Amino acid sequence: MFRSLASQLALIIGALFLVATFALFQWYFHSSEQFADEVEQMLHRDLAAHIVHDDAKLNAGIIEASNLMPVFHTQMLLGPEWEFYALDVTGKILAYSAPEGVVKLDKVNLNPIKRYLSGHDLPLYGDDPRTPNTQKIFSVSPIYSLAQQTQGYLYVIIGGQKRDTATALLSGSKVLKDSALILGATILFGLIAMLLAVSVITKPLKRLSQRSLQYVNNDFANLSPSHHSRFASKEIQDLENSFISAAQHINHQLSQIKTTEQLRRELLSHISHDFRTPLTALNGYLETWLISEENKRSPELIELALKNGQQINQLVEQLFELARLESGDIEFFPEPVNVVELAYDVMQRLRYQADKKRVELSVKVDSQRGIIAYADISKLERVLVNLIDNAIRHTQASGAVKLEINDYQDKVQMCIIDNGKGIQHDELEAIFKPKYRGSNTEDSLTNAGLGLSIVKRLLEMHNSIITVSSQPGIGSQFRFELAKK
């Protein structure tokens, strides 16, 4: 029953409210009673002194019970709630106004009397001889002899037993009942208002909890739109907005995980195929060489086996490089680079491969001076090698591959142009995906489909984007730009 936040808050706040109300009214009644006692005690402060002054014998210091009874009787007619006691200097009761047998104490504590006579703050409470262990407000006056020596005290209880009896009789009065009814209604109204306030405050939290559970049950998808309540606090709205942001982030990450997992499966499938083909050929050439007679073992078999081994090694290196690029494990060290010198170095490096296929390589620069770009030289070299090698492989004999370098005010544009087979228009967006092989690929053994994906990742580290335009049978152009600083 009390598992919800609203019920727990209502229970705790309600209990605190009742305790605070009870304590407040206890303090109020106590302070009100003390205030009333203070007022009444102050009004009757000189009552005992007047009685002593008006009675000749008491004024002379003579304390006689027979003489005091008529005096006490006369005073009680004026104030029926008063009780009179004559005390000696030790506090012993010598005479009193009450009937015989009702006085339970034979001595009164003098400490409150002395504080009263010394002018201590009111109210002060003294012993009630008729009710042991009970304190009442009083008026007191010393009784002096003619020699001004203290003979005793006239001790007057203000609001004695008759007043207590009258108070008990009036406890069932209509005024008190109405007051109690109003008090109870006020407490009930406060509790109802508090429960409504708690319900309004916790309602957005309950709705948020239901939304989060629904979101989890729907496998972190189909997050319902948020509708903030007019009474929702800023903190609750911030909490709900944070939940929505977290849910959207989780949903995005799950989508990425699913996409990555799908790509991983496809990549593993392609890799297993790529490894299987050269490995099978490698094993076949080696087995053929082993079972051949020693004088008939052809060196060509070893060369073919070596070629397949090199293809496997190249594939492994590309896979490791792509994995490091995707994980961000490769460090980036940009510096000023003379791209013209780098372009000629790359062309010279690939000259043998191009000559073997009878493809012409050239560099076109629109400036005779060196062109400086801000790049990581080793990674930029890798980009150029991959793009030019890719262009050579897709260019027929007697074709040409050209590297153009255009110097602009704040950037350098590099363009690799070939007049090879070209790329189908519907394949242009897919050629940069890992393991993608275009329809113009002939040699699947030497082309694992990772080169362009590596190029894209390396250029992204340079904050550059590579673009491609191509027409089948005419050729292709790959462009990218580098910042100068």
| Predicted pLDDT of residue 169 | 45
- Kindly state whether residues 158 and 74 are assigned to the same domain: yes
| Predicted pLDDT of residue 46 | 86
- Kindly state whether residues 422 and 399 are assigned to the same domain: yes
| Regions of the chain where pLDDT drops below 70 | 1-6, 8, 65-80, 160-177, 179-180, 219-233, 263-264, 266-277, 311, 314-315, 318-319, 321-329, 368, 434-449
| Beta partners for residue 156, in sequence order | 84, 139
- Kindly state whether residues 306 and 348 are assigned to the same domain: no
- Kindly state whether residues 468 and 365 are assigned to the same domain: yes
- Kindly state whether residues 340 and 468 are assigned to the same domain: yes
In a domain, 29, yes or no: no
In a domain, 28, yes or no: no
Distance of CA 72 to the CA centre of its chain: 78
In a domain, 34, yes or no: no
In this structure, what CATH number is given to the domain that contains residue 454? 3.30.565.10
Task: Give the model confidence (pLDDT) of 365-375 as tens digits.
Answer: 977 678 999 99
- Kindly state whether residues 319 and 364 are assigned to the same domain: no
Q: In 3-state terms, what secondary structure has residue 412?
A: strand
The one-letter amino acid at 349: R
| Predicted pLDDT of residue 318 | 66
Closest to 452 (Cα-Cα) out of 472, 435, 432: 432
Extract the runs of DSSP E, i.e. beta strands, from 345-422: 360-365, 372-375, 400-407, 411-418
Query: Nearest 10 degrees: CA dihedral of 349, 352, 355, 360?
Result: 0
- Kindly state whether residues 138 and 66 are assigned to the same domain: yes
Residue 384: domain span: 332-483
> Do the beta carbons of residue 137 and residue 41 sit within 8 Å?
yes
- Kindly state whether residues 388 and 473 are assigned to the same domain: yes
- Kindly state whether residues 416 and 284 are assigned to the same domain: no
Domains in the chain, number: 3
- Of 149, 171, 193, the one marking the end of a domain is 171
Helix (H) or strand (E) holding 127: strand 125-128
- Of 298, 326, 354, the one marking the end of a domain is 326
- Kindly state whether residues 430 and 317 are assigned to the same domain: no
In a domain, 62, yes or no: yes
In a domain, 38, yes or no: no
| Predicted pLDDT of residue 242 | 79
> Do the beta carbons of residue 198 and residue 5 sit within 8 Å?
no
Both tokens assigned to 271 = 């890799």
Closest to 462 (Cα-Cα) out of 346, 394, 380: 380
- Kindly state whether residues 437 and 337 are assigned to the same domain: yes
In this structure, what CATH number is given to the domain that contains residue 304? 1.10.287.130
Both tokens assigned to 92 = 């012993």
In this structure, what CATH number is given to the domain that contains residue 94? 3.30.450.20
Query: Nearest 10 degrees: CA dihedral of 415, 355, 395, 440?
Result: -120
| Predicted pLDDT of residue 200 | 73
Instruction: Give the separation between CA 426 and CA 207, rounded to whole angstroms.
Output: 48
In a domain, 304, yes or no: yes
Instruction: Give the separation between CA 364 and CA 254, rounded to whole angstroms.
Output: 47
Task: Give the model confidence (pLDDT) of 173-212 as tens digits.
Answer: 566 567 667 877 887 787 787 777 777 777 777 777 777 7
> Do the beta carbons of residue 360 and residue 410 sit within 8 Å?
no
> Do the beta carbons of residue 376 and residue 444 sit within 8 Å?
no
For the chain, state the CA radius of gyration. Answer: 54
- Kindly state whether residues 401 and 454 are assigned to the same domain: yes
Closest to 403 (Cα-Cα) out of 459, 318, 341: 341
In a domain, 143, yes or no: yes
In a domain, 357, yes or no: yes
Number of neighbouring beta carbons within 10 Å of residue 246: 11
| Predicted pLDDT of residue 163 | 54
Which CB contacts under 8 angstroms, 24+ apart, belong to 452-459? Answer: 452/386, 452/390, 453/322, 454/318, 454/321, 454/322, 454/325, 454/382, 454/386, 455/382, 455/383, 455/386, 455/387, 456/432, 457/322, 457/325, 457/326, 458/325, 458/379, 458/380, 458/382, 458/383, 459/383
| Predicted pLDDT of residue 166 | 46
- Of 326, 352, 387, the one marking the end of a domain is 326
| Beta partners for residue 87, in sequence order | 93, 153
Q: Which residues contact 150 (CB under 8 A, 6 or more apart)?
A: 89, 142, 143, 144
> Do the beta carbons of residue 428 and residue 438 sit within 8 Å?
no
The one-letter amino acid at 137: I
